[in-house]
Chain A
Amino acid sequence: MTQFLLRRLLLVLPVLVGILLVTFIITRLVPGDPCYVMLGEHATEASCNDFNARFGLDKSIPEQFVRYALNLLKGEFGNSLKDRRPITTIIGERLPMTIELTVLAVTLSSFFGILLGVISALKRNTIFDTLTMLGANAGVSMPIFWLGLLLAYLFALVLKGTPFQLPPSGRLSAGMSMLPLAKTWGLQDVTGIKAFLLALLSNSAIMNGLLTGNYALTFDALKHLILPSVAVSTVSLAIIARMTRSALIDVLGQDYIRTARAKGLAYALVVRRHALRNALIPIVTIIGIQTGGLLSGAVLTETIFSLPGVGSRMVEAILNRDYPVVQGFAVVIALIFVFTNLIVDASYAYLDPRVRVK
């Protein structure tokens, strides 16, 4: 098993090199000029020539790539062209929000998806099954943009003044403060990976509140995440429910289930211990893919709910032709996918002893 995981980790290197190369070439080949986006109507050819020279964008693409690769070897992702802030800082700011949203959304979609799928499979061809699958179809088909606005309208306006009122957008309520942990704990001098991890914790409003005892902050952040996580989890929930149903129905028809029942085991126990565990492999795969997708940014949800996550920043960078940000985020997203798949693979071994034996 260890060897298997090490081999998978090893594959990360060529994947990363490939991602870097492809992203670099694609961003440079896409027409458009970052200077004109940043200066808007005021952009002139002279100013933009100066801008491009300042940021080394006037050099040939191979020359730019060599410089970029050399910087990467020194551990420098570079700075944003838009605001000249280090890419690692921007990632440290954006990733925590996305992780918070993903964890909530995946928890919601996995719990309710599996629950509905199991009940639907066990009560196959009943009205409950039909309604659940109808709901799942609706969930898959519903545009997140529309659902997000609908949820925001319902919980922010229709239920305004009731205990169910929820904020329609933003990460925190006005006036809610989020102090940097480095400052709070007197760790301003920390550098490297420690500083990055500290920034991740610090920029997670939920963790920041918990670690500093500012529970109002945690509660406020959670309140702001309810609607986005419901909106973004709908599609995953529907897919997981459908997948659970079909996988469980398939397993329930197997001989070993009949054998287990014939041995006199209780039906609930058979379902839980024998059927569901065997049906979980495709479900875990789906959950893994959904998690990777969400961690790499729920662009529409982040946009509608004005959440400062990875996806919205990536799209903004693409539109602004902010090449270093696009490249930096592409690497992070690639890493997220690789590690998510690694965890999914590892979970197979846990769920299915045959994988361990192989």
Chain B
Amino acid sequence: MKRNLYVLISLIALASMILAACGAKPTEAPVAPVVTEAPVVATEAPVVAYVGEKLEAPDCNYGGTIKSIEAVDEFTVKFTFCGPEPAFIAKVGSVEAYNIYDADYLKEIGGDAVAMNDNPVGTGQYIVQEWVRGDHITLVPNPTYFGKAVDNTTLVLKWNKEAAARLLDLQAGNVDGIAEVTADDLPTIQADSNLKLAPRKINNFLYLGINNTYPPFDNEKVRQAFAMLINKQQIVDDFYAPGSVAATQFVPPGVKPGFTDGFVDTTYDMAKGVEMLKAEKFDFNKEYTLSYAERTRPYFPQPTKIAQAVQAQLAEAGIKVKLSMEEWATYLPATRAGEKELFFLGWSEDYPDATNWYDVFLTGSSPAFGDPFPDIVENIKKAAQSGDPVERQKIYDEVNKLYAQHVPTTVIAHGTVNQAYLASVENVVLGPYNENFGQMKTADGTMRYSQDGEPVSLMCADETDGNSFRACNLIFSKLYKFTTTSIAEPDLAEECVGNADATEWTCTLRQGVVFSNGAKLDANDVVATFSAGMDYNYPLRKGNTGTYQYFKDNFGPKVMNQPPE
């Protein structure tokens, strides 16, 4: 009897736990929106003057580049920077992190990405009809879209992690287009008359990182010799998709100013490389570790095969290299912490400007490559401050020469990314960052596209992944946008005009733009959006992870009111 009672009590406890768990609420309580400034007054009430909001740093010592953002009037926003910002338009037009949100809606949802996912409110071509978690997002045309109406009735975004399965889906006619075609699948697509390839030219690179704090790589001559021993063209021919090119210098040819025409930093020369190593008393008996992560990227299409090829090329020179394949979750932090002597990493451009290359990698922002080179850093900073393209190119020419001398890395290749579509899909045009889904035509009016992962959230201000960006690009708009070229076109802004030294940018907004919830776009929406990204204490800065990394990357490295580490 006693035992039965004990059993009964335990069962009740267990059942209560399960019941409580099933009714669990999110751990984090939603942040209550706090209105810190005067409320926005509707434009329909002419008797009340428009109250523009302003985000302003007390000074420029906080570690970021934005001094203030001010809604000058209903349709004018002024960005003031702590120094020249010649790449402003390229930055705000590129990644979807700079989507503009309705300020009132941000307040309504407390700036929370989870709430935004349930009901995204934007000014883009499409609105979300349904997000079936784990399977697809169905988008339908936004009736209030200010631009050209889309040419299809429905756009379905699906995802499948496996490239072979995506291709099968395309061949079966279950989808009309797929992302990230692998090099292995290219012949199949080329041989199938029902399919067509759509290459995307995006500036990227794969590099061999060399940490100059590890002997013998602290010796410049050794690094120079290593650069000579890698047959980049062979690697591109063997492992990259058509259209990819072997690197000749630090930045890809499309980065102008930046790329120096006709300049080749290192030429493949096995004999000379070995001779240089011998002259430097390089230890050929020692085994060196080359690390990489088995994570396919546009710039790294076949990680293991490419790593093995480099290993083989170095072996030809008598250098013993051990490959170390790691998981991304451990590999990246270790690399960034400077724990790898030789490693593979890469980069795909966020915006078309040289600062997105030189400043990210060669200014010593992480100890991955060891100690930075003062002459390189000084020139890069000088170039970033200049608004004159000719002057900037001259400085970058010098940087490219210094890069060839110091060899902080060896850039190997610039990969071309391929997508594939059914041959019947009309008007497929890929820009460097986006697809023109709105203008693609299918027989039944529904465009179905399969990418390699589910969007993390639809508040892309706080995301960094391409799958989220692709969805956000369809639902939201930015001040500027990129379509088919690397030249930014006005989108929500009619224009943004910089002053002579590019420290002030004044943007005039397009009038009559309406969010999908019926709210009208005005300058305070821009201020609120950027405040969430740039002000650590802004009450609506919640997002998804709360990192807002692109704001730090492009206008940081720190944001206003960021607590000291």
- Chain A residues proximal to chain B, CB less than 8 Å: 3, 6-7, 9-10, 12-13, 16, 31-51, 54, 71-72, 74-79, 81-88, 93-94, 97, 149, 152-153, 156-157, 160, 165, 167-175, 177-178, 191-193, 195-197, 303-308, 313, 319-321
Q: Which residues of A contact B23 (CB under 8 A)?
A: 75, 88, 191-193, 195-196
**Cβ of B114 and Cβ of A84 under 8 Å apart?**
yes
Docked Cα-Cα span, A88 to B465, in Å, equals 25
Give the CA-CA distance A75 to B14 in the complex, in Å.
11
- Interface of A: prevailing SS: helix
List residues of chain A with CB within 8 A of the CB of B156: 174-175
Whether A308 and B133, one on each chain, are in contact in the complex, defined by CB atoms closer than 8 angstroms, is yes
Bound-state Cα–Cα, A313 to B453, Å: 12
Is B549 within 8 A of A42, CB to CB?
A: yes
CB distance from A260 to the nearest CB of B (A): 41
CB atoms of A93 and B169 under 8 A apart: no
User: B20: which of A41, A74, A177, A308 is its contact (CB, 8 Å)?
Assistant: A74
- The 5 lowest CB-CB distance pairs between A and B, nearest first, are A308-B134, A75-B20, A32-B329, A192-B23, A196-B22
Say whether B172 contacts A160, CB under 8 Å: yes
B337 touches A45 (CB 8 A): yes
Out of A16, A165, A192, A304, name the residue touching B165 (CB < 8 Å): A304
- Residues 112-134 of chain B, each 1 if its beta carbon lies under 8 Å from chain A, else 0: 01100100000000000110111
On whether the beta carbons of A177 and B130 are closer than 8 Å, the reply is: yes
Question: Hey, which chain A residues are within 8 Å of B7, CB to CB?
Answer: 3, 6-7, 9-10
Q: Is the CB of A38 within 8 A of B161?
A: no
Chain B contacts for A153, CB-based, 8 A: 168
**Beta-carbon contact of B26 and A79 below 8 Å:** yes
Is B44 an interface position by the 8 A CB rule? no
* Contact status of A13 and B446, CB under 8 A, knowing A37-B328, A156-B172, A306-B159: no
Measured CA separation A12–B173 after assembly (Å): 48
The reply on B193 being an interface residue by CB < 8 A is no
Given known A-B contacts A9-B11, A156-B168, A47 and B552 have beta carbons under 8 A apart: yes
Q: Are A42 and B328 in contact (CB under 8 A)?
A: no
Looking across the interface, which residue of chain A has its beta carbon closest to that of B153?
A: A175
Q: Which of B165, B544, B553, B562 contacts A168 (CB 8 A)?
A: B165
Q: Residue A169 contacts which of B160, B345, B544 (CB distance < 8 angstroms)?
A: B160
Residues in chain B near residue A167, CB distance under 8 A: 172, 174
Cβ of A62 to closest chain B Cβ, rounded Å: 19
Within 8 A of A (CB), among B339-363: 345-348
Instruction: Answer whether residue B138 sits at the interface, using C-beta atoms and an 8 A cutoff.
Output: yes
Q: Which residues of A contact B130 (CB under 8 A)?
A: 177-178
Residue B389, interface by CB 8 Å: no
What's the minimum C-beta distance from A196 to chain B, rounded to whole angstroms?
4
Identify B4's interface contact among A3, A42, A81, A303, CB under 8 A: A3
Residue from the list A51, A82, A174, A193 in contact with B136, Cβ < 8 A:
A174
Partner of A45, one of B11, B27, B346, B366: B366
Is the beta-carbon distance between A177 and B138 smaller than 8 angstroms? yes
Would you call B159 and A77 a contact (CB within 8 A)?
no
Give the one of B336, B346, B547 with max A CB within 10 A: B547
State the CA gap A179–B274 with chains docked (Å): 67
User: Which residue of the partner chain A has the closest CB to B22?
Assistant: A196
Return the contact of A42 from the options B19, B21, B160, B464 (Cβ within 8 A): B464
**A–B complex contacts, Cβ < 8 Å, 29 sampled:** A3-B4, A6-B11, A7-B7, A12-B14, A33-B333, A40-B465, A43-B333, A43-B336, A75-B21, A75-B23, A77-B24, A79-B28, A81-B545, A84-B28, A156-B168, A156-B169, A157-B168, A157-B171, A169-B169, A172-B136, A174-B154, A175-B154, A193-B23, A195-B22, A196-B23, A306-B135, A306-B158, A306-B161, A319-B327
- Determine how close the nearest CB of chain A comes to the CB of B384; give it in whole angstroms: 18
Determine whether the beta carbon of B173 is less than 8 Å from that of A160: yes
Per-position binary interface string of chain B over residues 66-77, scored 1 when its CB falls under 8 Å from any chain A CB and 0 otherwise = 000000000000
Contact across chains for B24 and A88 when beta carbons are under 8 A apart: yes
Q: Is the Cβ of A76 less than 8 Å from the Cβ of B162?
A: no
Asked if A31 and B550 sit within 8 Å, CB to CB, the answer is: no
A168 touches B154 (CB 8 A): no
Report Cα–Cα, A316/B456, bound state, in Å. 12
Binary contact readout B525-565 vs A (1 if CB under 8 angstroms, 0 otherwise)? 00000000000000000001111011011000110001001
Question: Does B330 interact with chain A (Cβ within 8 Å)?
Answer: yes
| Contact yes or no, B24 A76, CB < 8 A | yes
- Known pairs A6-B7, A36-B333, A74-B20; A168 contacts B28 (CB<8 A): no
Residue of chain B at shortest CB distance from A49? B565
CB distance from A165 to the nearest CB of B (A): 8
**CB-nearest residue of chain B to A56:** B27
Q: Does B271 contact A (CB under 8 A)?
A: no
Bound CA–CA A82/B463 (angstroms) = 10
Query: In the complex the two chains form, what is the Cα distance from A40 to B27 in whole Å?
Result: 25
Q: Which residues of B contact A81 (CB under 8 A)?
A: 545
Q: Are A45 and B336 in contact (CB under 8 A)?
A: yes
- Interface residue? B13 (CB, 8 A): yes
In the assembled complex, B10 has its CB within 8 A of some CB on chain A: yes
Q: What residues of chain B lie closer than 8 Å to A3, measured between beta carbons?
A: 4, 7
Q: Are B114 and A308 in contact (CB under 8 A)?
A: no
B331 → chain A closest CB, angstroms: 8
Cα distance, A134 to B427, chains bound together (Å): 52
> B residues within 8 A CB of A35?
545, 547
- Beyond A93-B133, A193-B23, is A174–B544 a contact (Cβ under 8 Å)? no
Distance of A165 Cα from B21 Cα, bound (Å)? 42
Distance in angstroms from B235 CB to nearest chain A CB is 20
Kindly state whether residue B17 has any CB partner on chain A within 8 Å. Answer: yes
Which A residues lie within 8 Å of B22 (CB)?
Answer: 75, 88, 192-193, 195-197
What is the CB-to-nearest-CB distance from A297 to chain B, in angstroms, rounded to a whole number?
A: 13
Question: Which of B13, B24, B25 has a CB less than 8 Å from the CB of A13?
Answer: B13
B347 engages A41 (CB within 8 Å): yes
Query: CA separation between A13 and B162, bound complex, in Å?
Result: 39
Interface membership of B82, Cβ < 8 A: no
> B327: which A residues are within 8 A, CB to CB?
32, 319
B13 surroundings in chain A (CB, below 8 A): 13
Question: Using Cβ atoms and an 8 Å threshold, which residues of chain B touch A304?
Answer: 162, 165
Q: Cβ of B448 < 8 Å from any Cβ of A?
A: yes
Give the interface centre of A46, A54, A165, A313 by most chain B CB atoms within 10 Å. A46
Is the Cβ of B174 less than 8 Å from the Cβ of A168? Answer: yes
A97–B134 alpha-carbon span in the complex (Å): 10
Residue of A nearest to B562 (CB): A50
Is B332 on the interface with A (CB-CB < 8 A)? yes
Q: Which of B282-337 contact A (CB under 8 A)?
A: 327-330, 332-333, 336-337
Residue in chain A with minimal CB distance to B453: A316
**Could you tell me if B464 and A171 are in contact, using CB atoms closer than 8 angstroms?**
no
Minimum distance in angstroms from B561 CB to a CB of chain A:
13
Q: How far is the CA of A82 from the CA of B8 in the complex (A)?
A: 39
Chain B 433-454: CB-based contact to A (< 8 A → 1; otherwise 0):
0000000000000101000000
> Which residues on the B side are within 8 Å of A191 (C-beta)?
23
B24 touches A36 (CB 8 A): no
Question: Would A306 and B165 be within 8 Å (CB), given that A33-B333, A48-B333, A84-B545 are in contact?
Answer: yes
Nearest CB on B from A268, distance (A): 44
Question: Are B14 and A13 closer than 8 Å at their CB atoms?
Answer: yes
Complex Cα spacing A168 to B170, Å:
10
A42 and B20 form a contact (CB under 8 A) = no
Q: A44-B365, A88-B22 known; A174 and B448 CB under 8 Å? A: yes
- When C-beta atoms are compared, the residue in chain A nearest to B132 turns out to be A178
Min distance, Cβ A206 to any Cβ of chain B, angstroms:
14
Query: Which B residue's beta carbon lies closest to that of A155?
Result: B172
- Whether A83 and B464, one on each chain, are in contact in the complex, defined by CB atoms closer than 8 angstroms, is no
Query: A271–B500 Cα gap in the complex (Å)?
Result: 95
